[in-house]
Amino acid sequence: MRRPFIAGNWKMHLDGASISAFCAALRDGASDREDVTVGVFPPFVYLAQVVDALAGTGIVVGAQTCHPEPKGAFTGEVAAVQVKDAGASHVLVGHSERRHVFGETDEDVRARLDAALACGLDVILCVGETIEERQADRTGEVVATQLDAGTKGLDPETLANRITIAYEPVWAIGTGLTATPDQAQEVHTMIRSRLAGAFGSDIADRVIIQYGGSVKPANVAELMACPDVDGALVGGASLEPGSFASLIEFESQENPR
């Protein structure tokens, strides 16, 4: 059975005071959950603060990206080993904003994934298509290419135990648009099927696949009702404690996977 994973990506939002209040609320509301994994991904400068504030809760704390080199003259970058040293357990790689705003290629994403795994971090690997690619009926091709680049040659148990896939259609991020449950399920089914072809169905059936793209309390339940949607990578709706709590709380409903 796959344990749902709901993660909040705070991007370049919040400050120290608001993060302290958020973590206090999160400790009260989510720290005792046993049926869902909860995670937050703050800006780099607040990583250690969040790690300390959530210590002992079981809530995942991760970074929003990492650099593949362990050290060097890379001004403004943070290495995977430094993310690990700050106390984080996870890192996002390949988020659409990293790909489309900062120009990261599939090769760049894979280098970050490999560096994260090598130093003991677990990974959320993001994949997804733009609106132009969807309108050109290239969703399957684009997602498959990104997925293959990020997973080819991995140890199967590493994939099953340490990597979460997040499908985030670029056209639904921060736009208010959301993939319908049918659209999300279609792509998630394709992802799991492709992983099964490469790694076997037993491994593919264990991989957590999140949906990300304007997830909010009003639509999370219908998305999570899809059999291959195992969680959510949440942006804007993760920035306010009450909203994030609502996303988590719906999961108290039975939903075997």
What positions carry a catalytic annotation?
A: 95, 168
Distances (CA, A) of 192 to 44, 143, 160, 165, 227: 31, 12, 11, 10, 11
DSSP one-letter code for 177: -
The Cα–Cα gap between 239 and 105 comes to 28
Compute φ and ψ for 114, nearest 5 degrees. -65, -40
Residue 9, SS3 per DSSP: strand
Burial 103-120 (b: 16+ CB within 10 A, else e): ebebebbbbbbbbbbebe
